[in-house]
């Protein structure tokens, strides 16, 4: 990984700040942004982030356990640097009781579904309801993943 990126696996939550612009304190100890990923298991949440941060794709079959935290430094055109923590949550339903801590002080959410499995799209309703319960009004992006797979 590049020097401005780091991957931390953990099952513990950490604090940051909310979507309203108040002071931001991330695991880095500096101002930044917290983005959370949501979606069913095996929709490709981890691979989406790894592809973005590392510009590569390495297939593996391991599921995320509890939480993987990706740390990235965003560099604006004016040279300003902003730390970004991307929280990759486990999609397995057995971890639902842990999700409340993941939503805490998140600034944005990326919800991911697998185009080859219609149920993962249908389940976005449940994920969105839970998101709005814990972080009402949070900016949310929906990503259709695995669109490149020939599933016919």
Within a domain: 104: yes
Within a domain: 152: no
* Residue 63 DSSP one-character state: P
pLDDT at position 76 over 60: yes
The per-residue pLDDT for range 116-145, each reduced to its tens digit, is 999 999 999 999 999 999 999 999 999 998
pLDDT at 7: 46
Within a domain: 151: no
Does the pTM surpass 0.85? The reply is no
CATH no. for residue 45? 3.40.50.300
Smallest Cα–Cα separation from 116: which of 151, 84, 89, 144? 151
> 34 is in which domain, residue-wise?
5-145
The total number of structural domains in the chain stands at 1
Within a domain: 119: yes
Give 23's contacts (C-beta < 8 A, 6+ positions apart). 17, 31
Within a domain: 150: no
Within a domain: 37: yes
Within a domain: 25: yes
Within a domain: 48: yes
């Amino acid at each position: 990984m590049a020097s401005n990126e780091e991957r931390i696996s953990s099952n513990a939550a950490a604090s940051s700040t909310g979507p309203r612009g108040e002071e931001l304190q991330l695991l880095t100890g500096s101002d930044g942004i917290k983005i959370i990923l949501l979606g069913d298991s095996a929709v490709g949440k981890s691979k989406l982030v790894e592809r973005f941060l590392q510009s590569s794709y390495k297939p593996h079959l391991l599921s995320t356990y509890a939480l993987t935290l990706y740390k990235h430094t965003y560099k604006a055109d004016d040279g300003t640097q902003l730390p970004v923590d991307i929280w990759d949550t486990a999609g397995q339903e057995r971890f639902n009781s842990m999700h409340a801590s993941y939503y805490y002080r998140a600034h944005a959410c990326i919800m991911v579904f697998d185009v080859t499995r219609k149920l993962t799209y249908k389940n976005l309703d449940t994920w969105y309801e839970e998101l709005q319960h814990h972080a009402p009004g949070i900016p949310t992006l929906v990503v259709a993943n695995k669109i490149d797979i020939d599933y016919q």
